Amino acid sequence: QVQLVESGGGLVQAGDSLRLSCVASGRTFSRYAMGWIRQAPGTENETVAAISWSSENTYYVDAVKGRFTISRDNAKNTVFLQMNSLKPEDTAVYSCAALRWFNSVGGYAADYWGQGTQVTVSS
């Protein structure tokens, strides 16, 4: 069993930065790939970024490449999403998830989800 708790969301202006954190409980954290998935009102879930258990492999959706960085600290059971140059279209609820796998086109299979944290970017 893995429990995930996100933090770091908020209301910012376009061009600002935020750093999301997701802390996991349970001793199996390092066995999972981790992902950040977002959902804006009226839209489908979108895989924003994902990272393998070793940090060797990552995925980013095209819309955030060059602006967002996913990282993890297995010793602290934490995954991060550094978001720079935020845009109004980044506004969404961001959830972290423990993934059994992810692929190069944003597909994934998740075993556990956090409750989500709201990110709102004003223009």
List pLDDT tens digits, range 76-87. 999 999 999 999
Q: How far apart are CA 57 and CA 54, in angstroms?
A: 8
Q: Say if residues 68 and 82 touch (Cβ distance below 8 Å).
A: yes
List pLDDT tens digits, range 6-53. 999 999 999 999 999 999 997 788 789 999 999 998 999 999 999 999
Could you identify the residue written with the tokens 């994902």? 50
Q: How far apart are CA 82 and CA 60, in angstroms?
A: 12
Q: Per-residue pLDDT averaged across 94-105, rounded?
A: 96
Could you identify the residue written with the tokens 């996913």? 70
